[in-house]
Structure 1
Amino acid sequence: MVKSKSSHLYESVSILSGVGAKKVEALSGLGIRTVMDLFYYFPYRYEDFYEQNVYNLADGDKAVLHGQVVTTPVLSRFGYKKSSLRFKMEVQDLVINVVFFNQPYLRDKIMIGEDLAVYGKWEQAKLSLTASKTVDLKKTDQLEPVYSTTASIKQWAIRKLIKSAFEDYGSELINIVPNEIRDPLHLMDEHDMIFKIHFPKSYDDVKEARQSAVFEEFFLYLGRLKWLKKDDDQLGIQVNYNLNELKQFIETLPFELTDSQKHAVNEICFDLKSEQAMNRLLQGDVGSGKTIVAALGIYAAFTAKMQSALMVPTEVLAAQHYDNLKQLFNDTNLQVALLTSGTSKSERKALLEDLKNGKIDLLIGTHALIQPDVEFNNLAFVIIDEQHRFGVNQRRALRVKGLMPNILSMTATPIPRTLAITIYGSIKISTIKEMPKGRLPIKTIWVKGASDPLIDRAVRYELEHDHQVYVVAPLVAESETMDLRNAEEIYDQYVQNYPKVEVALLHGKMKPDDKEQILNDFAAKKYRILVSTTVIEVGVDVKDATLMIIYDANRFGLSQLHQLRGRVGRSSIQSYCILVANPQNEVAKKRLELMVESNDGFFLAENDLKLRGAGEVFGNRQSGEINFKVGDPLEDQKSLQLARDAVDQVFSKDPELTDAENQNFHEFLVHTKDQDETID
């Protein structure tokens, strides 16, 4: 059998030299399973190792400075395994201070009188460079890519692997985007694009490659979405619900639906009765009452003697939905069940039997719902909460549990309608803009210093009133390169400041079971203060949590700040959000001012779009429902629209992609069909 030219690209990374089982597992944790995945694992930024003029530096700049060591390095130790190494260098007739943190081994390598280049962050007031590494200007590439990593695999290892893979298999890279699309848009050759992204000689290389990479990423994502959905565009299950029974149930609710909720319910019910399978996105601000809207769709299906499923991203959120919906349907015959990875074998066996026999009307769960042994009797309605947390195939796997059931996706991240349609394809959108009656707007305050006495007063006030507090930091631990507050440091501080109060620490590096336990314990009020990174952005509903403190708030985008703020204000109790930040640029200041001004997620989303500039070439993005590696749906709307038009053009001419010019595109879709990217 003759292999295709690109055969190695879709093979496991285990074919690369030095990649054993442990490294395969570590790479898999980054979403890298094949050689192609490795090539498309793009840097999120670059470190600039061009030697710079010390007199041109501004405070906070990162730079490479080259000069002569003029004092003997002095090593000081403090704390647990912490140290500083300090010495002076003469750089361009200016004597500066240099400090390395937690690199004590450098003391024996840096000698007085030595010619040395160091990379770090410049502090103008102290004429000091907080250095992270020494640089060999003769051997180091002037632009060094920086990749997202985990504890299991280091930065240098990823760089080495990509270089090795490119040397062995880079020649096999092919143009996936068909030439009829590529040529008019002047897209770079695939080989050159990948090379310039990973091994750029200048920022011009990066910018040129990025233009092609952005379009291609959108094109391949939308193409894959179209390919996966092409078999789904057919007649679905018609739910002939009992309108009178639904109205009677609505009358039993202990609150009145808002006009937005009523409108959304009507749209969903219209879709349920239609012969066409529902494909609808329900978007609403945090706390706007999306769940009750979905619940009414569930009850409508129940009146037609049909089943529903609700899939959520975390076990904590699944348990919350289970408790709330079980209580909501308590006086009806609608049977609710919960299925997660924590369900015991005996419980699971009995539950699955009841589900298959139609004794369960609503099944709530996490990814456990899409396991092969989960069989429904007559699944008609599927709700996917925080749908951007699930991959395309995960959502599709739940849909095929029934004969084309109706799909309702829910998100609390408002995005412009045209952008939503472009990203999600032919999807109908329902929007809830009003908040339920009785909810008080969260009062947001911006303070510039972490030592502001208002923070302590606010914490003590909420604790005295038997309330709970969230505290959010941008980093897990201390960083040598970023002068930001970290969760571990803040946790120690809060334990010391509030010794009679139970304080918990939560971050993404913890084991999933440990994270779930801490969240459950916080919800059960075993902890009064939760210090966390952004892992609490979604999926936590604690009624007694009334204060949110966000350190270095300028490091987050508007939409993320709004999501974090939405963790409080979940009851009729007045809640507060304190933003702690002292930004030096006007855009960051404007974001914080907008947060203080408004609680409206749609208003903030629109202003986020207006405020955001080009940012770093591959910089951290603050928005987007999809974790694109290069493109940003908001910043790169023009490319996104061009990609959507191009995908439509290709599929309208050749729906099955059998034409020769679409062969590489077809091969890509076939090989990636079973890869489940998380859309986040």
Structure 2
Amino acid sequence: MDLMDPISVLEGVGPKRVQTLKILGIQTIYDLLYYFPFRYEDLQVKELADITDQEKVTLKGIVVAQPILTRFGPHKTRLIIRLLIQDQVIIATFFNQPWLKDKFIPDKEIAVFGKWDQRRRSLNGLKIFTPSADEAQGMDAVYGLTKGLRQSTLIKMIQLAFTQYKSVLTESVPEAIRQHYRLLSEAQIVAGMHFPKTDAQAKAARRSAIFREFFLFECRIQNLRRQERTSENGLALHYDLAAVQAFIQELPFELTKAQKKVVNEIARDMKSSHQMNRLLQGDVGSGKTIVAAIALFSAVTAGYQAALMVPTEILATQHFEKLKVLFDTMTVKTALLTGSATAKERREIYSDLAAGRINVLIGTHALIQENVTFKNLGFVVIDEQHRFGVAQRKRLRQKGFSPDVLMMTATPIPRTLAITTYGEMDVSTIDQLPAGRQPIQTSWVKSNQTNQVQTFLAQQLQAHNQAFIISPLIEESESLDLKNAQALYDTYVARFEPTYRVALLHGQMSNSEKNEIMTAFSNNEVQILVSTTVVEVGVDVPNATMMVIYDADRFGLSQLHQLRGRVGRGNKRAYCILIADPKNDVAVARMEAMVETNDGFVLSEKDLELRGPGDVFGAKQSGLPEFKVGNPVTDFNVLQAAQIEAQQIFSNDPDLKNHGALQTYLHQYGLTNSLD
């Protein structure tokens, strides 16, 4: 007998049921036993005096009259039963369950589970059972179902599978760890999750199940790291240290202590024969780009080509212009490849790249097209990496022979996501802003105060500063009461032109139009830029000191923080004004958090707490793991403990020679597959 036996080995599970169960992801005995309920209903009988309105309870009483069945529409029925409970007669009503009529026999005792209506002193019945049945004293598990499958059918299958297979359940968590954290055995977890007698039993089983799930996930990640460390398929980039030091000395500013630390971490990876898989995170304006520039230059001095892929043309153009200035003095040839490049420009770039005449290629998704062929790509930087899917990132890596990969994000990653989503990567953090940067002063105002906002904006413009005005939509929407970019543009033109020039920027414009407007704004030919969130990432205009965000409650905290980071990039005092009339407590909490702190790491934790991981990065893009029992946000302490234990095991016993059961488990149940 094996837990990987197909579900069809169970009696009563034919081809049709196999297909139904497959929809729920249940194909093996293992899948069935670990398909845990999402909640429980307490079936223990209660006294009338101990229950509250709308509570789901089990009441036990004597049937005092024949049940009354009435029909009031196609397939609609009402079954009314009178029960004597202690010295009171209460009515229990069952809708659309006519077959229950014969179960209620006058003068016989029966238990009814349902929702209590205190005002009517009645019970909206859901299910019945005889008081002597085992389930009347326990907890009733409730499972996620699909069409064609009943709760009772699934429960019987789980009971049958547990009876037949409990002897072959493998202890996946080592005994020493189970003892240390007072965890249940594998059989106790499965039994306690599916068939608890009390709430305490259910909680104990869930606590152990959560640790087990996190622990196995962390072992999977540690196993991936081990495989990467032991494979010698990476490139050892022996860069020219003297040239790199000279490049850093030529910079017009000194690196912060945090930047120097991160540069050293990247440099060590580059020299190693293992493939670099590092994430560089830092708050907006912390100086990630210059760190990437040093790494790109280092790769070139080692005799390799390098690539920088970014999500938007605006950002690609901006990076290219900055890096070209830095690299030209070092005789490093750079090129820009985006979707708007002409056919002639593309042919020239393809030719020069294949011949090795281009050292550093900067661009958008265009970098991963089939025609792009490098001569010897050795180093890859992916900026705002969560904007790219796993497959896109992989395609860029495949342009070279196991190149070192540095991913960057200006969206500070909560500790929870760092452990789960990026656990197989090394993480470098720039937790310090360059000298001279002043914190951005953030205010939240209601929509009826926009006139005061524009008055303050006029003062900023008189001081020769510039401003961003952000709108969430381009065109009017009847379903959402939002200020749209076109209407905002018209408003600001009427108020500020011709004294100051106003421009409009949105995603439906052509790339050449966008670049032309951003160049004019960067050169202070445009003083007010009305835009959608197309400016969210990376746009750098040091003279912009004011960011006004309309309908700010429609954005997540991470996005608001990114937008705020577009100002305050020079030495002047900068302001961010949130215009919002939030309709719920979560939106109010976001506004308050933005006003309270400029720390992106604090905000990322708050965003995760308020919205959940799928909404922070977008579940598809981030590759977030789906946990069946644990919640990485609310159960973070358990997740952290599981990570520490998994790291300890693989640190002391990387090949799991002394952890045979865990080794067998990881191999047998396919948990060693790449997270990609």
What TM-score does the superposition give when structure 1 sets the normalisation length? 0.60
- CA gap 1:518/1:170 in 2 versus in 1, 3 angstroms: farther
- CA gap 1:172/1:607 in 2 versus in 1, 3 angstroms: closer
Give the aligned partner of residue 426 of structure 1.
Answer: 424
- CA gap 1:326/1:609 in 2 versus in 1, 3 angstroms: same
Establish whether residue 621 from structure 1 lines up as the match of residue 615 from structure 2: yes
State how 1:422-571 maps to structure 2 within 5 Å.
422-500=420-498, 501-508=500-507, 515=514, 518-523=517-522, 525-571=524-570
Mapped to 2, the partners of 1:442 and 1:484 lie a distance apart of 26
Instruction: Give the match's secondary structure for 1:548.
Output: strand
Mapped to 2, the partners of 1:521 and 1:187 lie a distance apart of 59
Would the aligned equivalents of 2:548 and 2:576 in 1 still touch at CA under 8 Å?
yes
- CA gap 1:512/1:330 in 2 versus in 1, 3 angstroms: closer
Q: How far has the Cα of 1:313 moved from its partner? A: 0.8
Q: How far has the Cα of 1:352 moved from its partner? A: 2.0
Would the aligned equivalents of 1:384 and 1:410 in 2 still touch at CA under 8 Å?
yes
Would the aligned equivalents of 2:221 and 2:424 in 1 still touch at CA under 8 Å?
no
Give the aligned partner of residue 373 of structure 2.
Answer: 375
- CA gap 1:360/1:460 in 2 versus in 1, 3 angstroms: same
Give the aligned partner of residue 271 of structure 1.
Answer: 269
One-letter amino acid of the counterpart of residue 458, structure 1: F
- CA gap 1:358/1:511 in 2 versus in 1, 3 angstroms: closer
Per-residue Cα deviation, 1:418-449 (whole angstroms, up to 9, x for no partner) = 42231134100000011112222222222223
Would the aligned equivalents of 2:608 and 2:633 in 1 still touch at CA under 8 Å?
no
Give the aligned partner of residue 3 of structure 1.
Answer: none
Would the aligned equivalents of 1:388 and 1:625 in 2 still touch at CA under 8 Å?
no
One-letter amino acid of the counterpart of residue 262, structure 2: A
- CA gap 1:379/1:622 in 2 versus in 1, 3 angstroms: closer
Q: How far has the Cα of 1:249 moved from its partner? A: 1.7
Mapped to 1, the partners of 2:147 and 2:496 lie a distance apart of 53
Give the aligned partner of residue 247 of structure 1.
Answer: 245
Give the aligned partner of residue 168 of structure 2.
Answer: none
Query: Could you say what the CA RMSD is over the residues aligned between the two structures, in angstroms?
Result: 4.5
Mapped to 1, the partners of 2:289 and 2:624 lie a distance apart of 33
Q: How far has the Cα of 1:561 moved from its partner? A: 1.2
One-letter amino acid of the counterpart of residue 400, structure 2: G
Would the aligned equivalents of 1:491 and 1:504 in 2 still touch at CA under 8 Å?
yes
Would the aligned equivalents of 2:470 and 2:549 in 1 still touch at CA under 8 Å?
yes
Would the aligned equivalents of 1:225 and 1:392 in 2 still touch at CA under 8 Å?
no
Q: How far has the Cα of 1:486 moved from its partner? A: 3.1
Mapped to 2, the partners of 1:182 and 1:521 lie a distance apart of 62
- CA gap 1:584/1:346 in 2 versus in 1, 3 angstroms: closer
Would the aligned equivalents of 2:420 and 2:625 in 1 still touch at CA under 8 Å?
no
One-letter amino acid of the counterpart of residue 282, structure 1: L
Give the aligned partner of residue 580 of structure 1.
Answer: 579
Would the aligned equivalents of 1:335 and 1:362 in 2 still touch at CA under 8 Å?
yes
Residues matched between the structures, number? 476
Mapped to 2, the partners of 1:257 and 1:346 lie a distance apart of 39
Instruction: Give the match's secondary structure for 1:408.
Output: strand
One-letter amino acid of the counterpart of residue 183, structure 1: L
Per-residue Cα deviation, 1:276-334 (whole angstroms, up to 9, x for no partner) = 10000000001100011111111211221211110011111111001001111232121
Give the aligned partner of residue 408 of structure 1.
Answer: 406
Would the aligned equivalents of 1:336 and 1:361 in 2 still touch at CA under 8 Å?
yes
Would the aligned equivalents of 1:613 and 1:635 in 2 still touch at CA under 8 Å?
no
Give the aligned partner of residue 184 of structure 1.
Answer: 34
Would the aligned equivalents of 2:503 and 2:530 in 1 still touch at CA under 8 Å?
yes
Instruction: Give the match's secondary structure for 1:451.
Output: helix
Establish whether residue 299 from structure 1 lines up as the match of residue 149 from structure 2: no
Per-residue Cα deviation, 1:439-482 (whole angstroms, up to 9, x for no partner) = 22222222223434431122212333343321122344444444
Give the aligned partner of residue 318 of structure 1.
Answer: 316
Give the aligned partner of residue 158 of structure 2.
Answer: none
Instruction: Give the match's secondary structure for 1:329.
Output: helix
Mapped to 2, the partners of 1:306 and 1:440 lie a distance apart of 39
Mapped to 1, the partners of 2:504 and 2:309 lie a distance apart of 27
Q: How far has the Cα of 1:575 moved from its partner? A: 1.8
- CA gap 1:590/1:325 in 2 versus in 1, 3 angstroms: same
Mapped to 1, the partners of 2:244 and 2:383 lie a distance apart of 22
Would the aligned equivalents of 2:506 and 2:531 in 1 still touch at CA under 8 Å?
yes
Mapped to 1, the partners of 2:420 and 2:435 lie a distance apart of 33
Q: How far has the Cα of 1:389 moved from its partner? A: 0.8
Mapped to 1, the partners of 2:343 and 2:301 lie a distance apart of 31
One-letter amino acid of the counterpart of residue 615, structure 2: R
Would the aligned equivalents of 2:488 and 2:530 in 1 still touch at CA under 8 Å?
yes
- Structure 2 residues without counterparts, runs of 5 or longer: 1-18, 39-142, 149-205, 207-213, 651-659
One-letter amino acid of the counterpart of residue 25, structure 2: N
Mapped to 2, the partners of 1:473 and 1:564 lie a distance apart of 11
Mapped to 2, the partners of 1:292 and 1:350 lie a distance apart of 28
Name which of 25, 50, 54 aligns with 1:175: 25
Q: Is the deviation greater in 628-637 or in 428-437?
A: 628-637
Mapped to 1, the partners of 2:280 and 2:504 lie a distance apart of 33
Would the aligned equivalents of 1:473 and 1:487 in 2 still touch at CA under 8 Å?
yes
Would the aligned equivalents of 2:383 and 2:409 in 1 still touch at CA under 8 Å?
yes
Q: How far has the Cα of 1:553 moved from its partner? A: 1.9
One-letter amino acid of the counterpart of residue 186, structure 1: F
- CA gap 1:405/1:506 in 2 versus in 1, 3 angstroms: same
One-letter amino acid of the counterpart of residue 562, structure 1: H
Instruction: Give the match's secondary structure for 1:247.
Output: helix
- CA gap 1:637/1:494 in 2 versus in 1, 3 angstroms: same
Mapped to 2, the partners of 1:613 and 1:340 lie a distance apart of 34
One-letter amino acid of the counterpart of residue 531, structure 1: V
Of the two, which has the highest radius of gyration? 2
One-letter amino acid of the counterpart of residue 359, structure 1: R
State how 1:37-186 maps to structure 2 within 5 Å.
173=23, 175=25, 179-181=29-31, 183-186=33-36
Mapped to 1, the partners of 2:530 and 2:219 lie a distance apart of 41
Would the aligned equivalents of 1:316 and 1:520 in 2 still touch at CA under 8 Å?
no
Would the aligned equivalents of 2:368 and 2:392 in 1 still touch at CA under 8 Å?
yes
Q: How far has the Cα of 1:582 moved from its partner? A: 3.6
Mapped to 2, the partners of 1:350 and 1:526 lie a distance apart of 33
Give the aligned partner of residue 345 of structure 2.
Answer: 347
Would the aligned equivalents of 1:450 and 1:551 in 2 still touch at CA under 8 Å?
no
Mapped to 2, the partners of 1:177 and 1:227 lie a distance apart of 25
Give the aligned partner of residue 80 of structure 1.
Answer: none
What TM-score does the superposition give when structure 2 sets the normalisation length? 0.61
Instruction: Give the match's secondary structure for 1:368.
Output: helix
Would the aligned equivalents of 2:256 and 2:432 in 1 still touch at CA under 8 Å?
yes
Mapped to 1, the partners of 2:433 and 2:597 lie a distance apart of 13
One-letter amino acid of the counterpart of residue 331, structure 2: N
Mapped to 1, the partners of 2:289 and 2:435 lie a distance apart of 15
Per-residue Cα deviation, 1:481-500 (whole angstroms, up to 9, x for no partner) = 44443333323322222232
Instruction: Give the match's secondary structure for 1:561.
Output: helix
Q: How far has the Cα of 1:342 moved from its partner? A: 2.0
Instruction: Give the match's secondary structure for 1:409.
Output: strand
Mapped to 1, the partners of 2:624 and 2:37 lie a distance apart of 15
Instruction: Give the match's secondary structure for 2:298.
Output: helix
